[in-house]
A and B are shown apart, each in its own frame.
Chain A
């Protein structure tokens, strides 16, 4: 099965500061990669997904962006954080041809103050 490394695990950032969350995947090749956000007490919202290097699909308009510089690396960024960006961010991966079973990283808790 896949292993997903995601960091940092926790961060507190001031409004207007930049953000970079990084995710790497082991145990598979050519994965589909995802960034989800979960606000407190809410469900998971799909932010971005990628089917290959440099291919990013955005689900919702926002001040976040994603990049995939390598096959198993996925990065979530922001130039200027908003208070509403606070939440639990999850990187996830699926391998085509495996019934889309999704594996998650341990998540990153972001608090914007």
Chain B
């Protein structure tokens, strides 16, 4: 079975500081990993994904994520947070061997960037 854990319901960071939103996963094979962001009253918006290759993946709006196979983690990072980054962030996973099946989403982490 596939699963994703986002251990923090809420992350607070000051504007200009680096931010990290944590995600750990469990799959039986190789993972495909995704990050989505949801702004208030909007749908989920794709940020970035890891398929294979370089463990550091760069995405939209200056976000990046680092795949760590030994720690089964895929943490989302940004060097300098903006107030406009305040939103709900979802990590998602799918097993490479599961074929064309839906992504499994975490419960989400609410990021609040304080000016």
A and B found bound together: no
Residues of A near any B CB (own CB < 8 A): none
Residues of B near any A CB (own CB < 8 A): none
